[in-house]
Copies of this chain bind each other. A is one copy, B any other.
Amino acid sequence: MKARIHITLKTGVLDPQGKAIQSSLGALGFSGIDNVRQGKYIELNISESDPAKAEAELSRMCEKLLANTVIENYAIDLEA
């Protein structure tokens, strides 16, 4: 089963990488862009075939390793 995980900074947490992208886009002449936020995107295959169990397992992975839950949120999407 394929899983996609998005890890994003919580609202209110400063995102210097996003700010850098935003100012670089401005310097390249792109206008009308704001609120740029950069996050991480992880794709993986999990052998667990029960979606509920797979999601629980993936949540544990996010809590323990993938996300810093003090400043980051995570979202899990499963694809059959």
Contact = CB atoms under 8 A, between A and B. Distances in A.
Determine the interface band of chain A, counting residues with CB < 8 A from chain B. 20 to 34
Given A21-B65, A57-B30, A36 B40 contact: no
A44 interface: yes
Given A38-B41, A40-B38, A42-B37, A65 B32 contact: no
A33 interface: yes
Contact of A39 (B22, B24, B41, B48): B41
Contacts of A43: 8, 35-39
Given A36-B42, A38-B43, 8 more contacts: A21-B65, A21-B66, A24-B65, A28-B64, A33-B61, A34-B45, A37-B43, A37-B44
